[in-house]
């Protein structure tokens, strides 16, 4: 579901918004793509593309924000994705009298365009936003056309984590669901909304042809051995063929300017570049 909440967009004029903090990887990517990188003074942990933004101060994870860290940087505008939190931190930031804008979340092509336009409008870069939205929409249409041409779509299970040995998967209405569809696949995790645990029985019933995950390091990483050791996953067609795919998390689930590239990469991984 697309949501848009904002505090007086009129406050976010170029004269005031010369010290912008972006919270959320796709919002940061859009701001940079619009030519506003020079106005950014900080970003959150998920904002790691392009590489140049990593030189900016990191104010923490978007869902575990510290108002003190953000306000200490004296921003003139805070531009955040819709899942910024926790709620009490967001309320403190809103009460600080600084323009705080939550942009639409997206899980489909229309949502990506709406997100781009929203960011552009807040930054007073309307013309640039229209041009970027048009270009990205055209590339997404090409991805949809390629997906529609798939004659034998594969069932793909997005695994967010294997905490406690259980499978946390991306159900309907998630970014994972959206990118799988854009790539010409079928989301094997059906019958529930959001990211939720699946029972072993549900995993076995899903029968995924491919298992998709974010490419993570450290304690968050999930190895092939971890997948094959999970009782239900080990019995799926994906495990038998060792079709275990990994992609950069922000590229895969960000739903921003790079989403057409993500759809193409996933499509090629599932079906080959000629698929």
Work out the pLDDT band at 274, boundaries 50, 70, 90. low
CATH number for 227: 3.40.50.1980
Residue of 210, 180, 176, 208 lying closest to 193 (CA atoms):
176
In whole angstroms, give the CA distance from residue 127 to residue 100: 22
In whole angstroms, give the CA distance from residue 82 to residue 73: 21
**Residue 9 shares a structural domain with residue 117:** yes
In whole angstroms, give the CA distance from residue 147 to residue 169: 22
Q: Is there a domain that residue 30 lies in?
A: yes
Radius of gyration (C-alpha) of the chain in whole angstroms: 19
Q: Which domain holds residue 49?
A: 5-143
Cβ(260)–Cβ(29) under 8 Å?
A: no
**Residue 176 shares a structural domain with residue 262:** yes
pLDDT tens, 186-240?
999 999 999 999 999 999 999 999 999 999 888 788 999 999 999 999 999 999 9
**Residue 137 shares a structural domain with residue 172:** no
pLDDT tens, 153-193?
999 999 999 988 899 999 999 999 999 999 999 999 999 99
Q: Is there a domain that residue 150 lies in?
A: no
In whole angstroms, give the CA distance from residue 139 to residue 251: 15
**Residue 126 shares a structural domain with residue 165:** no
If you average pLDDT over residues 21-46, what whole number do you get? Answer: 97
In whole angstroms, give the CA distance from residue 19 to residue 76: 5
Q: Is there a domain that residue 148 lies in?
A: no
Q: Which of 115, 143, 171 is the last residue of a domain?
A: 143
In whole angstroms, give the CA distance from residue 115 to residue 6: 13
**Residue 163 shares a structural domain with residue 134:** no
**Residue 57 shares a structural domain with residue 85:** yes
In the prediction, which pLDDT does 273 show?
Answer: 66
Tokens encoding 188: 């094997």
pLDDT tens, 250-263?
999 999 999 999 99
**Residue 189 shares a structural domain with residue 222:** yes
* Range 98-102, long-range pairs (CB < 8 A, 24+ positions): 98/71, 99/7, 99/8, 99/9, 99/11, 99/12, 99/16, 99/17, 100/7, 101/5, 101/6, 101/7, 101/9, 101/12, 101/77, 102/3, 102/4, 102/5, 102/6
In whole angstroms, give the CA distance from residue 263 to residue 269: 10
Q: Which of 87, 122, 143 is the last residue of a domain?
A: 143
Q: Is there a domain that residue 149 lies in?
A: no
In the prediction, which pLDDT does 17 show?
Answer: 79
Q: Which of 110, 143, 176 is the last residue of a domain?
A: 143
Residue of 43, 37, 36 lying closest to 22 (CA atoms):
43
How is residue 154 annotated by DSSP?
P
Query: Whole-prediction pTM value?
Result: 0.91
Burial of 231 (0-12, 13-18, 19+ CB in 10 A): exposed
């Amino acid at each position: 579901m697309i949501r848009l909440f904002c505090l007086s967009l009129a406050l976010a004029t170029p004269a005031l918004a010369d010290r912008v903090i972006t919270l959320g990887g796709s919002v940061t990517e859009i701001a940079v793509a619009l030519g506003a990188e020079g106005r950014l003074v900080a970003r959150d942990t998920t904002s790691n593309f392009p590489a140049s933004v990593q030189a900016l101060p990191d104010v923490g994870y978007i869902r575990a924000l510290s108002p003190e860290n953000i306000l200490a940087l004296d921003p003139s505008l805070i531009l955040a994705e819709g899942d910024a939190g926790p709620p009490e931190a967001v309320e403190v930031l809103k009460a600080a009298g600084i323009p705080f804008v939550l942009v639409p979340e997206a899980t489909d092509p229309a949502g990506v365009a709406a997100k781009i336009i929203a960011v552009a409008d807040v930054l007073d870069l309307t013309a640039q936003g229209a041009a970027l939205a048009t270009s990205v929409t055209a590339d997404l249409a090409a991805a949809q056309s390629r997906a529609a041409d798939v004659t034998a779509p594969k069932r793909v299970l997005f695994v967010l984590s294997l905490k406690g040995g259980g499978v946390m998967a991306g159900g309907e209405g998630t970014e994972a669901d959206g990118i799988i569809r854009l790539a010409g696949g079928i989301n094997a995790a059906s019958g529930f909304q959001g990211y939720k645990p699946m029972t072993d029985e549900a995993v076995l019933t899903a029968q995924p042809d491919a298992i998709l995950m974010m490419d993570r390091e450290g304690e968050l990483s999930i190895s092939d051995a971890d997948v094959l050791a999970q009782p239900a996953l080990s019995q799926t067609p994906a495990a038998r063929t060792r079709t275990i795919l990994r992609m950069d998390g922000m590229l895969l689930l960000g739903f921003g300017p790079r989403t057409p590239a993500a759809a193409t990469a996933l499509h090629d991984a599932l079906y080959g570049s000629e698929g």
